Structure 1
């Protein structure tokens, strides 16, 4: 005889698991709402979040977007927190704070959360000309003391070589920007063709907080 008024233990367990999964799925995107990053040309982790954030369990990612797949496998919070890749109290001494091979993770900042971004490989690229525009989305409206924009030298191979300071050429130094949600400025990187990395340092104005941002581009 079937009993009424009592939920089977198996159903309760299933509901508990489902609730935990749903809470996790809701919480992750919310953690990515506090700061900012370069969204065009897309930073590595912003690009992964934009393409796969709503479909990150899709097995097609492994074949279609292998660098995002390895990043999601390593730590999905690096994508959900695409705008939290920063270091505090660097004092402008960026090369001392961020060692060679760790530029895209900000020197393994946030306990190494972003370490997968340092992995060489065929990251998805944004097509740009040698004169292009950088677009920073600054949701928290921190403003900027300055931006430093570097581009890799011709001959650097981002698919096989970890990024080093010596691979970069400084092509843009800006002045201050008032707090705004969207900041854009033009950059010129003559003499480039094909795959490159744009490395942007954003020195926020609200405190000594520096953001380190790798964007993969294809100069066409």
Structure 2
């Protein structure tokens, strides 16, 4: 038979356990704003295009035939698409080329995103010689600048991995204030035709965080 003292200890013990569980639950449920980031949504980056087109039907077997590059990316690591907003690295101090080996530009040298480096028939967005780029940033970090490159004439995204020597530098923007949506214009010399990669670096303003992406375009 339990005494009142024993019963009271059990009640107090259960109360402590409940309090601990409540604290832990709050800890795991709380997601700080800084965990949300962004990407270029127009023309869409490879991961964003795959998520936008197939995220709601990623088990659809038709993807293998209709969009084989997204299919191989989902097979390699579906988290690449679910976390399309998190292709970042910290502390590069502007040393983008030195810190990013050839062949790993489209993944921002993140091993979990390596499927984005795979050459192939990625879906393209048709653009003209002058076009607009749009960043969607869930956390409104702002930008120190964007650097924009276009793959050189003669480079074939269907058969080659992108390296620094395959790029023409197009422009570097100025600063942008914090906003969820940032748009800027890109003007090329009009010499590009067909499938090219637009390679973009976003240097965020809140921390030394660098994002790098590949967007597949068709210059009409």
Count of residue correspondences? 185
| Secondary structure, counterpart of 1:53 in structure 2 | helix
Report the CA distance between 1:146 and its aligned residue. Answer: 0.5
Q: Which residue of 2 aligns with 1:177?
A: 176
Q: Which has the higher helix share?
A: 2
Superposed, which structure 2 residues align to 1:41-60 within 5 Å? 41-60=43-62
**Does residue 1:39 correspond to 2:38, yes or no?**
no
CA distance in 2, matches of 1:126, 1:55: 21
Q: Which has the greater radius of gyration?
A: 2
2:205 corresponding residue in structure 1: 205
Identify the residue that residue 85 of structure 2 maps to in structure 1: 83
2:129 match:
130
Q: Secondary structure at the match of 2:56?
A: coil
Separation (CA, whole Å) in 2 of partners of 1:214 and 1:136: 13
Q: Which residue of 1 aligns with 2:14?
A: none
Q: Where does the alignment leave 5 or more consecutive residues of structure 2 unmatched?
A: 1-34
Superposed displacement of residue 182, structure 1:
0.4
Gapped runs of 5+ residues in structure 1?
1-32
2:64 aligned partner: 62
For normalisation by structure 1, the TM-score amounts to 0.83
The structural deviation recorded for 1:195 is 0.4
SS in 1 for 2:116: helix
Q: Distance in 2 between matches of 1:74 and 1:34?
A: 23
**Matched residues in 2 for 1:185 and 1:155: separation?**
27
Deviation at 1:188, TM superposition (A): 1.2
Cα drift, residue 155 of structure 1: 1.0
TM-score (norm 2): 0.83
What do the CA deviations read for 1:48-100 (whole angstroms, capped 9, x no partner)?
00000000000000000000000000000000000100110000000011110
Structure 1: 4+ residue segments shifted above 4 A: none
Q: Which residue of 1 aligns with 2:215?
A: 215
**Deviation sequence 1:2-55 (CA, Å, 0-9, x none):** xxxxxxxxxxxxxxxxxxxxxxxxxxxxxxx71000000000000000000000
CA RMSD of aligned residues (A): 0.7
